[in-house]
Amino acid sequence: MPRPSYLDFDNNSYPWKPDVDYRKHPELYKVGKGEQGVLICEPYKSEIGKYWRFKTPEIARESSDKIFELFEHYLAKGDFVGADMSRKYLQMGYTRARRYANYKGGKKYDADHNYQQLERGTGETAKAEAAKIFYDKWKAAEANESYTIQKRDWKKKYG
């Protein structure tokens, strides 16, 4: 039975650190996989995170529109870290809303029963619509030509 990855999480080896200002030290930022670092990297966490909501489709639409607007703003300023963090928040909007669509209360594992995976299909249907809204914005961000170029260049320069 697969266990949740957060149970064996190693803070010391995690490349994103909460005590780094990634605007002042963008060279320390790593793109990573998926949403890695999204809840750590300041000042972007504070700038973007306050808009991240997915309770209803209407809230998800407003939230994803605002985050996408920030994404475009960061790109226009040549701030790849901000753009990538915005993209991560859009992706996380999708994945978290899907989690709530799939599982009642968004809870996937039962901590009281050796982290067995709970029954799927018990979640909220409105969250599936919210997930779709975030998914479309996330994919639009990833398809953005300027983002693709900046990401490629960033990875060449910083890894």
Could you report the per-residue pLDDT of 55-85, keeping only the tens digit for each? 999 999 999 999 999 999 999 999 999 999 9
Q: How far is CA 144 from CA 22, 81, 140, in A?
A: 22, 15, 6
Q: Is the peptide bond before 18 cis (omega within 30 degrees of 0)?
A: no
Instruction: State the Cα–Cα distance between residues 48 and 33, nearest whole angstrom.
Output: 19
Amino acid in position 92? M
Q: What is the pTM of this model?
A: 0.86
Please tell me the predicted confidence (pLDDT) of residue 106.
Answer: 66
Q: Does 1 have pLDDT greater than 60?
A: no
Q: Rounded to whole angstroms, how far apart are CA atoms 20 and 15?
A: 11
Note the pLDDT tens digit of each residue in 96-127: 999 888 877 666 666 766 677 666 666 568 89
Q: At what angle do helices 145-158 and 125-143 cross, to 10 degrees?
A: 70
